[in-house]
Amino acid sequence: MNLRQKKKLAAKLHGPFDFRKKLVEQTRTRGYDYLRMNESFFFNDEVSVSIQASHAHYCCPRDTVQVYAYESMEVAFYKGSEMVPIEEVTTNISVIRSFEEFFSGVVYAFVPVPIIQKMYADLLVQRGLREDIAKVDPLGNRIKRHKKKTGSNSPSVVMQSVMREMSDDFWRGVKESLAKADEVKTE
């Protein structure tokens, strides 16, 4: 199936609710290849979803190509500026279970496009898209902060620093959750 056929099939299946139509490129840098960062989707209740696909992300193909050419993409969920697991943004058990096998420890890696579409539709229904407010991208803010922190404009240096911080934040949250669970068990 060529790219034109994929677009037609997506339009037929998802109509105006195809998340790929709403992906907006935030930044693109040149280096080894293009690193493309898409803007996050902002939903009500301070929930945002980052859907990324380029040579530097967990996607298939692992290359920077047109969005309809991807079979799978990388997904991360945020509440405010904190990265959270999918269970904190939806109560839909079917969506949660479909994402479980793709969790890499920090982000959801190589998530098939139909599963992302199902999650996007679920969040549209549960929370509603916040298109009416000015967007504040937590990842964009982290990138700006880390450019200053590292004193570098090199995408690889800045993104390594950002990913280290995000990983630290995630594991700190896991440790806190485990400690809370231990407190509940001992009571």
Please state the rounded mean pLDDT for residues 16-34: 69
Bridge-based pairing of strands 47-52 and 34-38 is unpaired
pLDDT of residue 95: 92
Name the more confident of 16 and 69: 69
Q: Is the pLDDT of residue 20 over 90?
A: no
Q: Which residue has the tokens 């967007």?
A: 135
pLDDT of residue 133: 44
| Residue 98 counted as domain residue | yes
Question: Phi, psi at residue 159, to the nearest 5°?
Answer: -70, -35
| Residue 59 counted as domain residue | yes
Q: Compute the distance between CA of residue 6 and CA of residue 69 in angstroms, rounded to an integer.
A: 8
pLDDT of residue 44: 83
Lowest mean pLDDT: which of 14-28, 114-128, 137-151? 137-151
How many domains does the chain divide into?
1
Please state the rounded mean pLDDT for residues 46-50: 91
Count other Cβ atoms within 10 Å, centred on residue 54. Answer: 22
3-state SS assignment for residue 90: coil
| Residue 27 counted as domain residue | yes
| Residue 185 counted as domain residue | no
Name the more confident of 7 and 42: 42
| Residue 28 counted as domain residue | yes
| Residue 90 counted as domain residue | yes
Res. 135 pLDDT band, cuts 50 70 90: very low
Name the more confident of 178 and 53: 53
Instruction: For residue 58, give its domain range.
Output: 3-136
| Residue 16 counted as domain residue | yes
Please state the rounded mean pLDDT for residues 81-110: 92
| Residue 146 counted as domain residue | no
Alpha helices (H) in the chain, listed in sequence order: 3-14, 19-22, 93-100, 113-126, 138-150, 155-186
Q: Compute the distance between CA of residue 184 and CA of residue 138 in angstroms, rounded to an integer.
A: 32
Whether residue 72 contacts residue 113, with contact meaning beta carbons closer than 8 Å, is answered with yes
pTM for the full predicted model? 0.63
As a whole number of Å, the CA-based R_g of the chain is 17
pLDDT of residue 78: 94
pLDDT of residue 39: 85
Q: Compute the distance between CA of residue 139 and CA of residue 74 in angstroms, rounded to an integer.
A: 14
Q: Average pLDDT of the chain?
A: 77
pLDDT in tens, 101-129: 999 888 999 999 999 988 988 887 778 77
Res. 83 pLDDT band, cuts 50 70 90: very high
